[in-house]
Structure 1
């Protein structure tokens, strides 16, 4: 890659981060085990033990009409008993103080992103060693993401909360708070997340996500209103332990790729089958900033090439060890793959989800996989317009040119790595 191209990509990272943070789901809850230090039974039920070259997964099935895919909800919500605390750990429940009834804040569409400021009352540096997100109303909760608010930013967060009528504030794109920390796509500033199929997450011994003295937590909830706007009061149980010099802090790397899925030939006369019209529709529903992600991704990943398969390759910039992997797409997703150095003798596959299941977005544990500066990471996604004919969520919706968007009936292509660094 030329120096100018590499510089341009680095410059895009902050813009893309703002547009992507609120869109990233299961990977922030990656079950990041170590070779010998993980606790059997402490992992999400969807996690499969990894092999040296990647992960293994139980085969899925294409989503049938009438499945949980109908609205992005309806996954099994039966709760397993909490995993026993390990020595030195404690639980802290953070919950919305009252019910919130979602609405489409722009008056258009069927999605609401709302951020709630929560106080873990930390009096010393801690690490989050696991968490259990508890969606209050699974019929409307599409996903939950936990963002860290550093102590220095708490006053601004409280001001934002107080200035917004009702509980919390609208937050398409990210937490809506400037200076919330994080280092772009290679170091996204969140603490954890839940998506359909998620269960309690417990990381391996000696691993955790930092939470400093006086920090707060923003809980962002994406509400999907396809089944109506019913009240919700979600919560999260944090597993906390004191941070020690031996603690290895987990970081999250985002690997987005474009989505450019044209209408089917037999439906190409629809009003949103023109890309520009479809992009304008996304911006009308989510705002100019988040709505511009589709174009920003092409500056990061390469020229626009419409089709069902999209890919993006980015270089590794620092030595890191992959502990967990995940992928994220929406209802039209078919498959997703994350590779290291594809097409070379050093090629490795970190994630190969050949049959995408929206209702099973639990992350996958891999044996520690070391990446070096100069390695190449590639994410590849395949989407399929034919799924419109099988899923009730699309009933009455004509084909449209699908680009990256935040709604449940829009699409995404996102690989997620959870890593530790020296």
Structure 2
């Protein structure tokens, strides 16, 4: 390979990573129970219960946290963080049906602390699509406060991440995202793997990013976050989050037709609803994952693998898709050609996206690759009340409830 070609590919990869990192948002990953509801049942049922197919080839027996909040262990305490002002009324922008709102919270941390768990109590499950809790380090607090003050409504609009300056650039924004926890509509408690926790420095704030879905009507929300704080002096291993996005290129079924079944028109529509970064993210994902931004391979199943730059230990895994999701897998591909399946969700249930905490840490060495694979089903659109009234579309990666995502979420510690 010529030097010029190598340099060209490196530049393309840098562009891809930048585009994806800027536009990336998702991840509903609270602790998972051992069951799921078949996707076809969602169209006919509102009282969802779990009936998940068993996972296969998981490297270690997985533990799961119940939906109820566990009792405090010796030395632990709760910090309650209600919605500032008591409640918020979501408002969709640009003629859409989604409101992404970043809400600044102050846990008043005065000493170095570890979180051993986090709870979300959704105030209005009809509106809450998902929520992500971000860490705001002390050096970012000024920027977060300024963003909060600029908007007359509670918090600020944030279709991507909170939009705060950070230390990491490029792949660093995917390899070490400032996520603390995430939830789908049901909320609940996320307990971290034994001996690990989310480290908060004195003066740290938090941003609760709420994704509100207005397809089911309006109203107000009064969601509450509860932080489970480990006993003072606890020596826990700090947790980090690695994000594994893959493209979504889902054509309309053969029996559906309409202007948005054209891919270019669909990408333009996503741009219109969520801003110019959306189309850039669609293109960036193709570049990042070895595809073509202009002539992508369309189909229900998409995949993407990325090399791990250093040795890490995986503690928990999760996946994120929207309502057309059918299945998702995360695999560890070793340099010797062997493979370990870390996550195998064969029947996707949007309302149950909790993370699987592994019973034992899985070591990933430099040069190994992590792969996420998602399968979506476009025929579910006409079966789901939330989507049946919308026009058919070629589905790409997008922030809306009627768009889709394919995201693997890795919780890890460093060796």
Same fold (TM over 0.5): yes
Aligned residues: 388
| Deviation at residue 291 of structure 1 after TM alignment | 3.9
Task: Report deviation, 1:357.
Answer: 1.1
Q: What is the match of residue 18 of structure 1?
A: 22
2:403 corresponds to 1:410: yes
CA positional deviation for 1:93: 0.6
Residues 239/7 of structure 1: CA separation in 2 closer, same or farther (3 Å cut): farther
Superposed CA offset, 1:8-37 (max 9, x none)? 4355434322211x32221xx4xxxxxxxx
1:208-223 to 2 correspondence within 5 Å? 208-223=197-212
Distance 1:8 1:124, change over 3 A: farther
TM-fit CA distance, 1:184: 1.1
1:64 to 2:7 alignment: no
Q: TM-score, normalised by structure 1?
A: 0.86
Tell whether the 8 Å contact from 2:198 to 2:238 is kept in structure 1 after alignment.
yes
Match of 2:191 in 1: 202
User: Residue deviations 1:204-229, cap 9 Å, x none?
Assistant: 33210111100111111000001112
Counterparts of 2:319 and 2:138 in 1: how far apart (Å)? Answer: 31
Instruction: Choose from 122, 133, 137 the match for 1:146.
Output: 133
Q: RMSD of the TM alignment (CA)? A: 2.4
User: Match for residue 325 of structure 2?
Assistant: 333
- Mapped to 2, the partners of 1:374 and 1:17 lie a distance apart of 21
Q: Distance in 2 between matches of 1:149 and 1:245?
A: 21
Relative to 1, partners in 2 of residues 1:410 and 1:342: Cα closer, same or farther, differing over 3 Å?
A: farther
2:367 maps to 1:380: no
Aligned equivalents of 1:134, 1:301: Cα separation in 2: 36
Give the Å deviation of 1:365: 2.0
Cα distance in 1, alignment partners of residues 81 and 266 from structure 2: 38
How far did residue 87 of structure 1 move? 2.1
Q: Any residues of structure 2 matched to 1:20-419 within 5 Å, and which?
A: 20=24, 22-26=25-29, 29=30, 44=31, 46-48=32-34, 58=35, 60-64=37-41, 66-67=43-44, 81-98=68-85, 99-106=87-94, 108-179=95-166, 183-241=172-230, 244=233, 246-268=235-257, 270-303=258-291, 304-341=296-333, 345-366=337-358, 367-419=360-412
| 1:397 aligned counterpart, secondary structure | coil
Asked whether the equivalents of residues 102 and 155 of structure 2 are also in contact (C-alpha less than 8 Å), the reply is yes
Within 2, Cα distance between the matches of 1:406 and 1:142?
11
Distance 1:263 1:10 in 2: 32
Segments of 5+ residues of structure 1 without an aligned counterpart are 30-43, 49-57
Are the equivalent residues in 1 in contact too, given 2:192–2:357 (CA < 8 A)?
no
Q: Is the 8 A contact 2:133 2:180 kept in 1?
A: yes
Residues 150 and 181, structure 1, Cα contact 8 Å, conserved in 2: no
Structure 2 regions of 5+ residues with no counterpart? 51-65
The offset of 1:155, in angstroms, is 2.0
Change (3 A) 1:180 1:373: closer
Q: Matched residues in 1 for 2:214 and 2:150: separation?
A: 25
Mapped partners of 1:117, 1:284: distance in 2: 27
State the Cα distance separating 1:66 from its structure 2 match: 3.3
Partner residue in 1 for 2:62: none
